[in-house]
With several copies, the nearest count.
Chain A
Amino acid sequence: MPEAALHRELLARMWLNRAFEEKVSELYASRVITGLLHLAIGQEAVAVGACSHLRTDDWVLGGHRSHGHAVAKGADVKRLMAEIAGRATGYCGGKGGSMHLVAMDAGFVTATGVVGGQIPLALGAAFAAKEGGRQQVAVVFFGDGAGQSGAFHESLNIASLWRLPLVFVCENNGYAEFTPLSAHTLVERLARHAETYGMPAHTLDGNDLLAVHDAMGKAVSQARAGKGPVFVECLTHRMRGHYEGDPAKYRELSQLAEWKEKDPIARFARMIETRSGLTAAEHGAIEADARARIEDAAQFAIASPWPDADEADTQVSAGHG
């Protein structure tokens, strides 16, 4: 794809993510959506930049803040929205919900609500990918808070030892719930742990879409080429509270203002105005298109039926295969 087209495509994807999350927030405020929701507004460059190099049959796994990862991996936004809204038409028939999205048609293997739990699971996807011999890779998203979990450390070791085709994408937004990273570890850059294992590791500005895009391009090729895992740490910021409803009193307002400046979408748009000649009208159309698609998804979800009462305890076990 020529660069100008690529830039527009990436911008469109970020808008799709942003529009999705803002719509979820809106539906939560109006009680159409309930549950424990963690939005990634402000972190779109990571999801979009990371997934832009992936094939449909590459595997992605995420955590409690992973709507955007599923969207960026190409999952159907209608079925995602319906799932988050608890409807029968959702990817999981309403059984999974916001923290447990699965969209296998798009290679989104699973999200989990257990901080760090996705990392060992991703080892498994990478293990299977390696054995399958079709140059698939696995990508796992997790936060800085997960970096103090045993699961994270055990997994770094195994991934490096077995040279698994896995890209670790750490979204270091500086907070775990209400406390800053400095309250959780003395290690400011989680990538340092990966280095200890001899793993290629990068820490970069996660609000700079092209930085993420470039680093991930190299990381995915290395993994695809059978050269083992790579660690990409993206410094970013969530522009919302930890969960919808969190007043986020623990953060300094100045800090938030500063990060608004760094909004990855506005920033990328400014950049490609010069570099790829994006016009205000084009940008407006891209945003409008994303919002329209998401509005459709919302309408689809709202119009969808609720799951049937007798679905409540089906699918506990798989039938014989």
Chain B
Amino acid sequence: MAEQSLLEAIREGLHEEMARDPAVYMLGEDVALGGPFGVTAGLAEAFGTQRVVNTPISEGAVMGLAIGAAAVGLRPVIEIMFIDFITLAMDQLVNHAAKLHYMSGGQLKIPLTVRVQCGISGNMGAQHSQSLEAWLAHVPGLKVVTPSCPADAKGLIKAAIRDDNPVVFIEHRGLYWARGEAAGAGAAVTPIGEAAVLREGEHITIATFGRQVAAALEAAAELAPQGISAEVIDLRSLQPLDMDTLVESVRKTGRLLVVHEAVSEGGIGAEIAMRVQQAAFYDLDGPILRLAAPFSPIPASSALDRFFVPGKAEILRAVRGAFRRQGAGG
């Protein structure tokens, strides 16, 4: 099995799409130099700085530019270096990219990909560590995807670029160098809107995405010999959510734990709880549980920020707690 890092997989996907379609352009701060993490390294050499374009530090205008270009026929991929800075482009993304197809009665299409990097890693503090996917998933007209492994990274970036709608492609910085099976040259597109059941189980469903997928799989492996069989779902697509897969799983297991690195209140977990309990109320054996970062800004200190990253230990605790609680309260 050929291996690659998630970062390499994204780069490969970008490369293939640029080669495939001359309407694909890259825009972002220092993208022609690879960007701070090297994701776009080599693209300018391959496709020229006409198509791989360094931009000034003007997130709002560059986002607008990409949207306007998409409206008249290009398929731009814009990089916002940290999701924290998407705050500077929210007007363009939310009031324009997401709404122009609708407001124009279908006259305009906005085939735009927004690559953006998120998460806690490297003790960067409150303004370089957020996970803001729930905002974006609350915006009709946007799609939101996030990969947990190289193969999905490549498949989803290709799907995002080929989609005729604005798609926000979220990359977790802590996963860039995580290795996994390579998708391979010209690999298939991963359809947007489909979750992946990575491990089947009987007693509880763990739904998560991004960096927490690995933690969930590890936890599930550790729980199995103890008689708790956990099903692990990688959501992959946060807007739209694959409710069919989720609900089917919870119907079977009767329990759900949602895990994310975004702060607890108002995260993706909340929406999942609303819809799963609506669809599978009578199949639930206990409350839907949420494991997430504390509702707080993220501290810079390495002594503190780790409490904001749900990992294997926290998942184990939450799952075990669920079964204990059942004994007591249920």
Contacts and interface: CB of A to CB of B under 8 A. Distances in A.
Tell whether A pairs with B. Answer: yes
Nearest to A176: B57
Contacts of B54: 179, 183
B185 interface: no
B96 A86 contact: no
Interface residues of A, number: 74
A94 B92 contact: no
Given A124-B71, A128-B74, A110 B100 contact: yes
B68 A127 contact: yes
Given A154-B60, A312-B294, A110 B71 contact: yes
Contacts of B126: 95-96, 100
Q: Indicate the member of A125, A151, A312 with the most B CB atoms within 10 Å.
A: A312
A273 interface: no
B67 A121 contact: yes
B313 to A, nearest CB: 14
B3 interface: no
Contacts of B304: 86, 94-95, 307, 309, 311-312
Contacts of A61: 68
B128 A148 contact: no
A122 B58 contact: no
Contacts of B69: 124-125, 127-128
A129 B72 CA distance: 8
Interface in B117-137: 122-128
A213 B114 CA distance: 39
A38 B115 CA distance: 24
Nearest to A156: B61
B56 A100 contact: no
Interface in A66-125: 86-87, 90-100, 102-104, 109-110, 112-117, 119-125
B326 interface: no
A315 B299 CA distance: 11
A225 interface: no
A158 B164 contact: no
B71 A151 contact: no
B177 interface: no
Contacts of B29: 176-177, 179
Contacts of A258: none
A91 B124 CA distance: 17
Interface string B155-176: 0000000011100000000000
A214 interface: no
Interface string B274-302: 00000000000000000000111101111
A150 interface: yes
Contacts of B300: 35, 86, 94-100
A47 B139 CA distance: 34
A128 B105 CA distance: 22
B301 A86 contact: yes
A294 to B, nearest CB: 21
Given A151-B61, A312-B304, A317-B101, A161 B56 contact: yes
B79 interface: no
Contact of B102 (A125, A316, A320): A316
A94 B301 contact: yes
A86 B123 contact: yes
A203 interface: no
B56 A313 contact: no
Contacts of B302: 34-35, 86
A41 B96 CA distance: 27
B295 A177 contact: no
Interface string B19-51: 000000100011001001000000000000010
Contacts of A113: 84, 124-125, 127-128
Nearest to B104: A102
Nearest to B97: A121
B64 interface: yes
A318 B56 CA distance: 31
Interface in A118-159: 119-129, 131-132, 145-146, 148-151, 154-155, 157-158
Given A110-B100, A120-B64, A128-B73, A312 B308 contact: yes
Contacts of B108: 102, 104, 109-110
B91 interface: yes
A178 B30 contact: yes
A99 B72 contact: no
Interface in A26-52: 34-36
A316 B107 contact: no
Given A96-B104, A100-B126, A102-B105, A307 B301 contact: yes
Nearest to B112: A124
A155 B60 CA distance: 9
A306 interface: yes
Contacts of B50: 131
Given A115-B57, A151-B60, 8 more contacts: A86-B300, A92-B105, A94-B304, A96-B103, A100-B125, A120-B64, A131-B50, A312-B305
What 4 A-B pairs come out closest when comparing CB atoms? A124-B68, A120-B64, A97-B300, A86-B301
Interface of A: 34-36, 59, 61, 86-87, 90-100, 102-104, 109-110, 112-117, 119-129, 131-132, 145-146, 148-151, 154-155, 157-158, 161, 176-179, 183-185, 250, 306-307, 309, 311-313, 315-321
Interface of B: 25, 29-30, 33, 36, 50, 54-58, 60-74, 76, 84-85, 88, 91-92, 95-96, 99-111, 122-128, 140-141, 143, 163-165, 294-297, 299-305, 307-308
